[in-house]
């Protein structure tokens, strides 16, 4: 169509815009024109999604791929972004959208949809996927006969409800009439190579349909992606930065039941930056003493060469630097049982529930101690999975600490089966790493745990135990910004004298008015247990008033018990002081979550 005829057809463009467009188009060859057309179509679709505005059909004429991620720790986001890049390389217009940002009204307009999601807790969707999950399972979900889709699940086979959320999405999209273009894949903790292969297969399948209109390609950054926040460093999860450990200081008392360390790490010269709410990923070295014992029990010589991801290294190096030795998982038992020809262990591996119960608190070494056997160095390495970095909520704000990053690390340390045990990463940081040593780190951004944009907005933070970490970052940030909004912190731990993490800092914030209120629950300082939710209930009227005044609500810490009990306390408060039914109170909290006023960083 001649551009000048656009004006005659009452296009939404002014005459001047048409002239400008005509000038630009005249400089482009046909391939460039096709690219621009795809780019504009996808941009318009994304802008429409984010604003909730409908996109005119002709604006989205060339089909594109929408990739939604539901992520708790960032893994699903990374897989979604890698898939988008693979699609882009083939000339497919692809956009990646955080499920929390996705307008459900857009669903009926999608033609090609990929869902990449993790599962959390007992088969629940991750925090940012709850809204879409609820919507799809509600009566409001539209029929989707024109939709082609694929689902990739991330999970951990140690959990009973492995990849449940991915299964839910897959099943529900099929029920709504959508057509699966590639069978769902459910992936364990070491998902990377299978995720790459699945993505490759998917892109190959979609390529003929999605590039029919021409070689147009554009990955559109979702709001808050690394590309849009300007957090561009050469270092990443794939290429971590070797950072210097400045300080590690025990911040629980001598008689505490807990060993919590305040850790300070230098990010100088890394180009890495973070915001309050982000996490720091840590790669660690396994305990050499543990590795020696493992090699002894399996009669493997420490300097035996092995192959790992295309590299040749000694088995000892592989075990110390690359493989998971502290967290056990079903696949290890299965592979180890087969390699050592152990009938008892093979039978155990066949009974999933018994296997989960057996693994319990056992580390890899405990399983090998229980069933010592002979196998080759390569078989041992092949039975183990690659070490996954551990994420710690960042406990500092760069507005205050500049190129440092602080963490609040609870050291995992327990006696079991007659032996002392240490956590992989926490043991490394607390026991084996000396000040001045290097530790490999990367920043994992978390846009679903952010201070409110308005400095006047009140904030309620609930963070017992090491769950206080991100709130120290929030307070530093609000202090540095001179934010006028009120801040209320709920903190709990066993004993006032032993476990009041950051006591002096918090009391100082209180004195200076940065903290408006500090409510503490020291659970074991009285006959009956006292928890943060008891403090919330005791202050129920004020909590309700703060919420009605627009407060943002945050929970960090234990997911299994605390976060659920706190949520129940909040429902009770909304019911009691808001005069609502239980169902209405739940809806009230759901609405807060959708409005990003109720955010959780729990596991
Ligand atoms: P914790 O075990 O959560 O204990 C902190 C306080 O909470 C103690 O006083 C404890 O009391 C109390 N508590 C126990 N059950 C509770 C319940 N149902 N409701 C409310 N409070 C309860 O502290 P922690 O050892 O520092 O561990 C924190 C937990 O959160 C860990 O599971 C950790 O993995 C997780 N965490 C996650 C993040 C993250 O980044 N997402 C950050 C920090 C921590 P009693 O022990 O006296 O019963």
Mean pLDDT of 336-353: 95
Q: Confirm or reject CATH 1.20.990.10 for domain 288-379, answering yes or no.
A: yes
The tokens for 528 are 């009956």
Give the residue among 390, 406, 531, 387 at the shortest CA–CA distance from 464: 531
Ligand 1 center to 500 CA (angstroms): 13
DSSP 406: E
145 touches 169 (CB < 8 A) = no
Ligand 1 center to 370 CA (angstroms): 31
**Alpha-carbon dihedral angle through residues 140, 142, 143, 144, given to the nearest 10 degrees:** -140
440 - beta bridge partners? 242, 283
Residue 171 and residue 174: Cα distance in Å, rounded?
5
Q: What's the chain's length in residues?
A: 603
Angle at 56 between CA 50 and CA 61, to 5 degrees: 100
Which atom belonging to ligand 1 lies closest to the Cα atom of 467?
43
DSSP 166: H
Pocket residues: Cβ below 6 A from ligand 1: 258, 393, 410, 464-467, 469, 492-494, 523-524, 529, 531-533, 556-558, 561-562, 565, 601-603
Residue 47: per-residue pLDDT: 55
Residue 6: per-residue pLDDT: 43
375 touches 336 (CB < 8 A) = yes
Residue 55, pLDDT above cutoff 50: no
Who contacts 257 (Cβ-Cβ below 8 Å, separation ≥6)? 494, 498
Ligand 1 center to 468 CA (angstroms): 10
Give the residue among 597, 277, 278 at the shortest CA–CA distance from 454: 597
Which atom belonging to ligand 1 lies closest to the Cα atom of 557?
30
Mean pLDDT across the chain, nearest whole number?
Answer: 90
Three-state DSSP state, 15:
helix
Residue 33: per-residue pLDDT: 59
Q: What is the pLDDT of residues 162-196, one digit of tens each?
A: 999 999 999 999 999 999 999 999 999 999 999 99
Residue 63: per-residue pLDDT: 84
Ligand 1 center to 494 CA (angstroms): 10
Q: Ligand 1: which residue has its CA nearest to atom 24? A: 465
| 556 or 10: which leads in pLDDT | 556
The tokens for 194 are 């299978």
Mean pLDDT of 534-553: 98
Question: Residues of the chain with pLDDT > 90: what percent?
Answer: 83
Residue 603: per-residue pLDDT: 83
pLDDT category at 122 given cuts 50, 70, 90 is: confident
pLDDT category at 60 given cuts 50, 70, 90 is: very low
CA atoms within 13 A on the CB side of 165: 31
Of 396, 558, 572, the one to substitute when testing ligand 1's pocket (max ligand atoms within 8 A of C-beta) is 558
Q: What is the pLDDT of residues 410-421, one digit of tens each?
A: 999 999 999 999
Q: Confirm or reject CATH 3.40.47.10 for domain 241-284+389-444, answering yes or no.
A: no
128 touches 121 (CB < 8 A) = no
Ligand 1 center to 379 CA (angstroms): 38
Residue 217: per-residue pLDDT: 46
Residue 212 and residue 526: Cα distance in Å, rounded?
71
Q: What is the pLDDT of residues 364-389, one digit of tens each?
A: 999 999 999 999 999 999 999 999 99
Which atom belonging to ligand 1 lies closest to the Cα atom of 602?
41
**Cβ count near 146 (within 10 Å):** 12
Residue 436 and residue 425: Cα distance in Å, rounded?
17
The sign of the dihedral angle between the CA atoms of 337, 339, 342, 347 is: positive
Which atom belonging to ligand 1 lies closest to the Cα atom of 391?
40
Of 392, 527, 562, the one to substitute when testing ligand 1's pocket (max ligand atoms within 8 A of C-beta) is 562
Of 73, 424, 557, 603, the one to substitute when testing ligand 1's pocket (max ligand atoms within 8 A of C-beta) is 557
Share in percent of the chain as helix, strand, coil (round to 5):
45, 20, 35
Candidate ranges 37-41, 46-50, 158-162, 484-488; pick with highest mean pLDDT: 484-488
Ligand 1 center to 341 CA (angstroms): 41
300 touches 377 (CB < 8 A) = yes
259 touches 373 (CB < 8 A) = no
List Cα–Cα distances, 466 to 50, 251, 259, 591, 603, in angstroms: 35, 11, 11, 28, 12
Ligand 1 center to 467 CA (angstroms): 7
pLDDT category at 226 given cuts 50, 70, 90 is: low
pLDDT category at 158 given cuts 50, 70, 90 is: confident
Which atom belonging to ligand 1 lies closest to the Cα atom of 521?
9
Q: What are phi and psi of 517, to 5 degrees?
A: -140, 145
Ligand 1 center to 557 CA (angstroms): 6
DSSP 447: T
Q: What is the pLDDT of residues 449-489, one digit of tens each?
A: 999 999 999 999 999 999 999 999 999 999 999 999 999 99
Residue 235, pLDDT above cutoff 80: yes
pLDDT category at 146 given cuts 50, 70, 90 is: very high
Q: Ligand 1: which residue has its CA nearest to atom 1? A: 465
| 300 or 213: which leads in pLDDT | 300
pLDDT category at 137 given cuts 50, 70, 90 is: very high
Residue 54, pLDDT above cutoff 50: no
Q: Classify residue 381 by burial, with Cβ atoms within 10 Å: 0-12, 13-18, 19+.
A: buried
Residue 566 and residue 554: Cα distance in Å, rounded?
11
Of 72, 118, 407, 466, the one to substitute when testing ligand 1's pocket (max ligand atoms within 8 A of C-beta) is 466
**Alpha-carbon dihedral angle through residues 260, 524, 363, 155, given to the nearest 10 degrees:** -90
464 touches 557 (CB < 8 A) = yes
Alpha-helical runs (H) found in 93-143: 130-136
CATH topology of domain 459-602: Rossmann fold (3.40.50)
Question: Do 459-602 and 62-220 have the same topology in CATH?
Answer: yes
Which atom belonging to ligand 1 lies closest to the Cα atom of 561?
18
Give the residue among 402, 517, 386 at the shortest CA–CA distance from 462: 517
Domain boundaries, the chain: 1-51, 62-220, 241-284+389-444, 288-379, 459-602
62-220 CATH:
3.40.50.360
Ligand 1 center to 31 CA (angstroms): 57
Q: What is the pLDDT of residues 469-478, one digit of tens each?
A: 999 999 999 9
Q: Classify residue 52 by burial, with Cβ atoms within 10 Å: 0-12, 13-18, 19+.
A: exposed
The tokens for 15 are 């005459």
Who contacts 96 (Cβ-Cβ below 8 Å, separation ≥6)? 67, 69, 77, 80, 81, 84, 219, 220, 221, 222, 225
Q: What is the 3-state secondary structure (H, E, C) of 261-316?
A: EEEEEECCCCCCCCCCCCEEEEECCCCHHHHHHHHHHCCCCCCCEEEECCEEEEHH
Q: Ligand 1: which residue has its CA nearest to atom 6? A: 493
| 36 or 379: which leads in pLDDT | 379
522 touches 496 (CB < 8 A) = yes
Residue 227, pLDDT above cutoff 70: no
The sign of the dihedral angle between the CA atoms of 594, 595, 597, 600 is: positive
Ligand 1 center to 558 CA (angstroms): 5
Ligand 1 center to 464 CA (angstroms): 6
Residue 203: per-residue pLDDT: 97
Residue 363 and residue 423: Cα distance in Å, rounded?
9
407 touches 233 (CB < 8 A) = no
Ligand 1 center to 244 CA (angstroms): 29
Q: What is the pLDDT of residues 554-566, one digit of tens each?
A: 999 999 999 999 9
Which atom belonging to ligand 1 lies closest to the Cα atom of 408?
43
- The CA-to-CA distance between both ends of the chain, in Å, stands at 56
* Element spanning 326, H or E: none
Residue appearing with tokens 């970490």:
469
């Amino acid at each position: 169509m001649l551009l000048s005829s656009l004006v005659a057809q009452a296009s939404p463009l002014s005459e001047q815009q048409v002239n400008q467009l005509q000038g630009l188009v005249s400089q482009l060859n046909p391939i460039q024109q096709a690219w621009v057309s795809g780019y504009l179509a996808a941009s318009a679709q994304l802008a429409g999604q984010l604003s909730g505005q409908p996109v005119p059909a002709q604006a989205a004429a060339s089909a594109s791929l929408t990739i939604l991620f539901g992520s708790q720790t960032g893994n699903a986001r990374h897989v979604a972004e890698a898939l988008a890049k693979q699609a882009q390389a083939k000339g497919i217009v692809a956009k990646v959208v955080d499920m929390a940002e996705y307008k459900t009204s857009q669903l009926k307009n999608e033609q090609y949809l990929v869902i990449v999601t993790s599962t959390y807790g007992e088969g629940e969707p991750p925090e940012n996927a709850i809204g879409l999950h609820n919507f799809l399972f509600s009566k409001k979900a539209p029929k989707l006969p024109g939709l082609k889709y694929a689902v990739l699940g991330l999970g951990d086979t140690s959990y009973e409800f492995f990849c449940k959320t991915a299964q839910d999405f897959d099943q529900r999209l099929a029920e709504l009439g959508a057509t699966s273009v590639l069978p769902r894949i459910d992936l364990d903790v070491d998902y990377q190579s299978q995720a790459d292969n699945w993505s490759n297969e998917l892109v190959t399948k979609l390529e003929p349909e999605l590039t029919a209109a021409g070689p147009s390609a554009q990955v559109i950054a979702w709001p808050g992606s690394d590309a849009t926040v300007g957090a561009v460093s050469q270092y990443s999860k794939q290429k971590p930065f070797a950072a210097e450990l400045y300080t590690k200081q025990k911040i629980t008392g001598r008689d505490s039941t807990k060993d919590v360390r305040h850790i300070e790490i230098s990010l100088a010269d890394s180009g890495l930056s973070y915001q309050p709410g982000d996490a720091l990923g840590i790669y660690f070295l396994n305990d050499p003493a543990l590795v020696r014992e493992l090699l002894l029990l399996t009669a493997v010589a420490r300097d035996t060469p092995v192959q790992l991801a295309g590299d040749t290294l000694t088995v000892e190096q592989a075990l110390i630097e690359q493989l998971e030795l502290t967290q056990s998982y079903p696949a290890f038992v299965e592979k180890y049982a087969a390699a050592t020809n152990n009938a008892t262990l093979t039978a155990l591996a066949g009974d999933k529930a018994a296997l989960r119960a057996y693994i319990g608190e056992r580390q890899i070494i405990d399983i090998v101690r229980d069933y010592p056997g002979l196998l080759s160095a390569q078989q041992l390495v092949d039975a183990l999975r690659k070490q996954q970095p551990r994420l710690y909520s960042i406990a500092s704000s760069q507005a205050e600490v500049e190129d440092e990053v602080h963490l609040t690390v609870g050291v995992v340390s327990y006696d079991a089966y007659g032996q002392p045990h240490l956590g992989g990463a926490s043991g490394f940081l607390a026991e084996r790493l000396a000040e001045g040593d290097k530790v490999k780190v990367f920043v994992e951004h978390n846009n679903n745990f952010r201070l409110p944009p308005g400095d006047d907005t009140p904030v309620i933070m609930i963070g017992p135990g090491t769950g206080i970490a991100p709130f120290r970052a929030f307070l530093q940030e609000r202090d540095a910004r001179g934010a006028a909004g009120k801040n209320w912190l709920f903190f709990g731990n066993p004993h006032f004298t032993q476990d009041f993490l950051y006591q002096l800092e918090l009391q100082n914030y209180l004195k200076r008015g940065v903290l408006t209120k500090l409510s503490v629950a020291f659970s074991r300082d009285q006959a009956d247990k006292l928890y943060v939710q008891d403090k919330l209930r005791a202050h129920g009227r004020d909590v309700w008033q703060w919420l009605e005044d627009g407060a943002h609500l945050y929970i960090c810490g234990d997911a299994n018990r605390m976060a659920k009990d706190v949520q129940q306390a909040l429902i009770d408060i909304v019911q009691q002081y808001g005069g609502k039914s239980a169902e209405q109170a739940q809806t009230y909290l759901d609405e807060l979550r959708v409005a990003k006023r109720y955010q959780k960083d729990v596991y």
